[in-house]
Copies of this chain bind each other. A is one copy, B any other.
Amino acid sequence: MVSKSQIKLINSLHQKKYRKQHQMFVAEGKKVIAELLQTNVELVALFSTSPQNFATSVTATIISEIELKKITALATPNNCLAVFKIPNATLPLQNGLILALDNVRDPGNLGTIIRLCDWFGIETLVCSEETVDVYNPKVIQATMGSISRVNVCYTNLEDYLKNTKLPVFGTFMEGKNIYQEKLPKKGIIVMGNEANGISKEIEALITTKIAIPRFGKLQQTESLNVATATAIILSEFKRN
């Protein structure tokens, strides 16, 4: 069973303010939880509506579906929910390809982008402080477990880019055709906000403007979704 104080704590963790205060986050669903259990992320509590085999020595506290409904952040809850400690963010190494997000706000987009980083072997994802919190339950859900393999850190993106020696790439309508550019093995790729793209302050720090060419006859499509644009750009950087 779940105690009243646990219900209160877990529900508070659906808000960023309390995740920061308690330094804990919630993960739901067997797959995501199982992947996190295999990392160094410290488990605080684990609940399940039925006995689960997590392939570790961890045992879940069995709870009823009614109890699960009291603690889940999902409209259709999974059968298990865990609370983990937020790991200390490792300072990003300036090595290889790094993806940076300038104010990405949609949890689904951030989750999908983390999955893409995992697929393309991008180990570090640097987020501006305004980017949606990676420990938001919807982000954790959308990563499908990839969260355990990508180092996500939040920082002042402007300062971070001012202090790098790596080339900084950003997507702009007037940028150079990405299919024709020689793309390096080391560098920082910046993706912008869903509605406004890359901000003026960050644009000033971009060293190479790139563009994904449009092929539609009417050329009326205004933009690609930030996650699909990230997919195409990472594929281009990695394909050679």
Could you list which residues of chain A lie within 8 angstroms of chain B, going by C-beta atoms?
Answer: 35, 108, 112, 115-116, 118-121, 144-146, 149, 179, 212-218, 220-222, 224-225, 227-232, 235-236, 238-239
Known: A120-B216, A231-B231, A239-B179. A115 touches B149 (CB 8 A): no
Which B residues are CB-close (under 8 A) to A120? 214-216
Minimum distance in angstroms from A203 CB to a CB of chain B: 22
Once bound together, how far apart are the Cα atoms of A115 and B212, in whole Å? 14
What is the total number of copies of this protein in its complex? 2
Once bound together, how far apart are the Cα atoms of A173 and B220, in whole Å? 35
Minimum distance in angstroms from A224 CB to a CB of chain B: 6
Known: A221-B146, A222-B144, A235-B235. A112 touches B228 (CB 8 A): yes
Once bound together, how far apart are the Cα atoms of A112 and B229, in whole Å? 11
Closest to A144 in B: B222
- Interface contacts beyond A108-B108, A120-B214, A235-B236: sample of 5 additional A-B pairs, CB < 8 Å, sorted by A: A121-B216, A121-B217, A145-B220, A149-B216, A213-B238
Known: A149-B218, A218-B149. A212 touches B225 (CB 8 A): no
Query: Do A112 and B225 have beta carbons less than 8 Å apart?
Result: yes
Once bound together, how far apart are the Cα atoms of A108 and B239, in whole Å? 27
Query: Do A227 and B227 have beta carbons less than 8 Å apart?
Result: yes
| One of B119, B225, B236 near A221 (C-beta < 8 A) | B119
Query: Do A215 and B179 have beta carbons less than 8 Å apart?
Result: no
Once bound together, how far apart are the Cα atoms of A229 and B119, in whole Å? 11
Minimum distance in angstroms from A29 CB to a CB of chain B: 13
Which B residues are CB-close (under 8 A) to A225? 112, 115, 227
